[in-house]
Each structure stands twice: as structure tokens, then as C-alpha cells.
Amino acid sequence: MEAIINGADDSTATSPDRRSALTYRRFGDPAGVLQIDKRPLQDRGRHMLGVAMVLAPINPSDLIPITGAYPHRIALPAIGGYEGVGQVVDASPDHADWIGRRVLPLRGEGTWQSIVDCDADLAIRVPDYVPDHLAARAYINPLAALCMMDARDVAGRTVLLLGAGSNCADYLGALAREHGAKHVIGIYRSLERAPRLEALGIEPVGLSDARAVTRAAERADITFDALGGPVGTEVLKSMRAATVFVSYGLLSGEPIAFAGSCARHCRFHLRDALAGMSVGAWQGMFGRVWPLLRHVEVPAGQVFAARQWRQALIAFARPGRAKPLLDLQAF
């Protein structure tokens, strides 16, 4: 991976009986409420794994809850981060064969910490051929794209992607073509995204060309929207009757106005898709994620030592930036 490693600053390593974590005790601007805490290690149950974290990305889905968008779902204090990759360093005798394996420690504690306790049933083993920088991003976007596409018949239809600068849109575009979509259109903001969309077989349409955006909306049978706000509202209003508008993100930070729409509006939340999923189905989903990651080339990220999380947040906010990844071995 061609990643940029930022310089170190003064810090002490986590002691053997403690872990470091990026926590927040109140909701607000992540730059203002996150802080590094040292937390004692606790005894683990027989079915739990201790995972020494290696890399974790910074996604919109990590930051939005910190702002207080979903306060009823989060008990404070909380640890940031929903995905990442690490190595099992502790397990009960029943799971001794996990020691040394790379895993995704998911659906439990926040991943922005040096050691994560994870239920062995929910931990995902990482194939040897998948590098850390890909494994760290193998959950939120790929799984959301698979769940959304599984719920929609796109064969022979025109698919529109709002927010086509995101990795999730890349996966949705690749899956739509794989599932027989007649045409896939991507609305992008940054000009440098156009060649990548074309390489993925997605027709690029610039967000600044309002007329072209409206025409794309009028052609669409199914829209997957990560933006919300005025753009999502206008696209929804421009779509034909009996079409479908799937809202799965709010990158604009503004809601959609639904009045005057002929299209059917659906919301997608990954947590809802996972709520009724059995452990076997959960594990089986990643049998589909790994080939998807090989099919859709993910750009290299920019790696920051965890103690430089503020610089990582600044990089995250820059248009056209590489995906920031936290090196959680470097608190």
C-alpha cells in the first residue's frame, strides 16, 4: 500500500494491563469531544477474543454518531470506530486456534482502541491474500452495498448513484453491473472522480451540471442516495412514478424534503439489515465481501498514528482526500 505515514509525537505506549482508546463523553464536533483515554483491561468471557488492533478507517458513519445524531442508540462514554482489522492475542482454551489470526472484530466495542474484546461468533477471519488496508475497510461499505443490492432487482434497469465519490458507490456500481443493470450513472462532486467512474463502467455526471443531474434523475429506475439535502430532494422530485429512491446516507448533513415526489422512498440502515441476521448468514456474507474487494480496486489510504487523530480528521474533511486510516499500534 502506498500510504503516507505521518511523523510521531511524544506519547507513551500502552502498558500490558491497560488499553488506549479514542473516547467521547459528550456529543459534539469530533475534534472537540474525542480524547485518548487509558482503560484497564478486563477479564473476558470464555467466548470472547482479545484483538490487538492494527488499522481502522475514519468513515462518515463513525463521525456522525459522535455529533449526537443518534443519541438514543449510544451510551456515554463511548469509543469511536465501527470497523478495522487486528490480530487475536488472547482467547480462552476453547478458541486457542484463533491466537495469531487476523480478524475483523465487529459489532461490539468501538474499534478505535489498542485492544478490542470481541465475540468469537461475530469475529471475521481475514484471508491471507487480503492486505490490512483492505481488510480494515471490509465491513461498512461492502456489506451495506451487498445488502442494498440484494433487496433490489436491478436487471435491465437504469441505476443512479448520488454521492459517487464514495467507496460504497463504487461497490454499488460494480454490483449493479454484475446483476444486469442496463445503465449505471454516478453523480460526482470532485472532477478527479470521473476517470475512476468510467473505469468501473459508470457514466459520470458532474454535480455542478444541474440540467444533467435532472436528466439522470428522469432516466433512473432506482436511485441510491448517500447525499440527502437539496441534491437528493431535487433528484427524488424529478424521478418518474413507480421508481425507487433508496436513501442510505446523509453526507450533506441536511434532510430530504419528500413533498411532491412520485417515486417510492425507502431508507436503508445497515443495523436494520443485520438485526435479524443469523450468525451463519453473517459469516457467510463475508464469503461474498472478499471477492468484491478484489473486483473493485480500492484506492490506498493515508495512515496516521492514532495519537495524531486530529490531523486525520483534518485530512478527512479535505475534498478529494485519500481515506484516513488510524494506526492503532501507535497510540
In whole angstroms, what is the distance from residue 242 CA to residue 153 CA? 14
Check whether 218 has a pLDDT greater than 80.
yes
- Condensed to tens digits (0 to 9), the pLDDT of residues 165-182 reads 888 999 999 999 999 999
Check whether 14 has a pLDDT greater than 60.
no
In whole angstroms, what is the distance from residue 306 CA to residue 291 CA? 29
Q: What is the pLDDT of residue 3?
A: 35
Counted domains in the chain: 2
CB atoms within 10 A of CB 31: 13
Tell whether 201 and 215 lie within a shared domain.
Answer: yes
Range of the domain at 128: 18-137+298-327
Domain boundary among 237, 256, 272: 272
Flag whether 288 is in a domain.
Answer: no
- Condensed to tens digits (0 to 9), the pLDDT of residues 188-215 reads 988 888 998 998 899 999 999 999 999 9
- Condensed to tens digits (0 to 9), the pLDDT of residues 245-300 reads 999 988 777 888 877 788 999 999 999 999 989 999 999 999 999 999 988 888 88
Flag whether 291 is in a domain.
Answer: no
CATH number at residue 128: 3.90.180.10
Tell whether 118 and 240 lie within a shared domain.
Answer: no
CATH number at residue 196: 3.40.50.720
Tell whether 152 and 266 lie within a shared domain.
Answer: yes
- DSSP labels for 84-117? -EEEEEEE-GGGGGGTT-EEE--SSS-SSBSEEE
Check whether 326 has a pLDDT greater than 60.
yes
Q: What is the pLDDT of residue 283?
A: 97
CB atoms within 10 A of CB 208: 10
pTM equals 0.90
Tell whether 121 and 162 lie within a shared domain.
Answer: no
- Condensed to tens digits (0 to 9), the pLDDT of residues 80-131 reads 999 999 999 999 999 999 999 999 999 999 999 999 999 999 999 999 999 9
Question: According to DSSP H, which parts of 120-166 are helical?
Answer: 132-135, 140-150
Check whether 46 has a pLDDT greater than 70.
yes
Flag whether 261 is in a domain.
Answer: yes
Is the Cβ–Cβ distance between 320 and 192 less than 8 Å? yes
